[in-house]
Amino acid sequence: MKLIRFGEPGRETPGLLMEDATLLDVSPFLQDYDEAFFANDGLTQLKQWLKENAASAPRVATSVRLGSPISRPSKIVCIGLNFRDHAKESKMEIPEEPVIFFKATTSLVGPNDDLIMPKNAQKLDWEVELAVVIGEKGSYIERKEALKHVAGYALHNDYSERVFQLERGGQWVKGKSADTFAPLGPFLATYDEIPDTGHLGMWLKVNGEFRQRSSTSEMIFDVPTLVSYVSQFMTLLPGDIISTGTPAGVGLGMRPPQYLKAGDVVELGIDHLGEARQRVVAWQLATGDTVSTHPAR
């Protein structure tokens, strides 16, 4: 199954992308693709419901806005320097153990939403990545059991502000967490749709030109290893995201480096996980933002 969420930001409705490319509204059956849904074996129940109700369930216009295919999770864990070619272009050693860092969960948005440059952004960069979504709670998961904890996979762009990430001290999370920095989807492909995560082609274009063209076969640590590894340090909850790292071809690795500017268009895709497209827009104070609007106390 291919899970989608559609509608206005923050008010998305769960749905399915069907084989015939129609979009189906599953809100008569379930509330959302969230921690409770995955924890209560929602995928099995949804599959059963679909068998009986696919023909009669309401259809949705394909022009609808897509949100993140899952509700905001408890955490987004990212893996750094997990592709040999990317570690090399970043002039970093191939790590002996996976590098892990967090992305704020508030950075999660739909696959085709605008990328809003954060205030004072200077070095805005792209990273096409395979995101793993956890389906079953676990800690100290053994590698051979790891895939049993996976609900499915999605396309992710791990946007990064390199000054915030690398030149402001402290941890990478600063450059990874701005609003709109984690467009996910178009859909979550359930685990049964991707039996082999080791040979998925992945690509990214900026303004129509290829920047990244690689495969998950370039990964240093594979998906089962990463799920097991992260679970040694924290409990993974249903709905949690592990983003598995990016291949070569990021702006930071170009000679000279090239970064995104307002008006640029980023397109990306991974085999069997669809495509996404983001337009870069300049930061501006929007109505309702809580930036420095409190009266002095």
Q: Which residues bind Zn ion (CB under 5 A)?
A: 127, 158, 246
Shortest Cβ 294–Zn ion spacing (Å) = 34
Quote the tokens at residue 145: 């059991």
Shortest Cβ 33–Zn ion spacing (Å) = 23
74 CB neighbour count, 10 Å cutoff: 15
Shortest Cβ 130–Zn ion spacing (Å) = 10
Nearer to Zn ion, 37 or 101 (CB): 101
Shortest Cβ 39–Zn ion spacing (Å) = 27
Nearer to Zn ion, 128 or 194 (CB): 128
Shortest Cβ 7–Zn ion spacing (Å) = 28
* Residue number of the CB atom closest to Zn ion: 158
Residue with tokens 């079953």: 136
Nearer to Zn ion, 17 or 242 (CB): 242
297 CB neighbour count, 10 Å cutoff: 3
Nearer to Zn ion, 231 or 246 (CB): 246
Taken as a whole, the chain contains a residue count of 297
Nearer to Zn ion, 35 or 127 (CB): 127
250 CB neighbour count, 10 Å cutoff: 24
Shortest Cβ 156–Zn ion spacing (Å) = 8
Shortest Cβ 70–Zn ion spacing (Å) = 18
Nearer to Zn ion, 158 or 240 (CB): 158
Shortest Cβ 87–Zn ion spacing (Å) = 12
Region of residue 288 (phi > 0: left; psi between -120 and 50: alpha; otherwise: beta): left
Nearer to Zn ion, 25 or 127 (CB): 127
How far, in Å, CA of 29 to CA of 203, rounded?
A: 35
How far, in Å, CA of 54 to CA of 25, rounded?
A: 10
How far, in Å, CA of 173 to CA of 171, rounded?
A: 5
Nearer to Zn ion, 16 or 108 (CB): 108
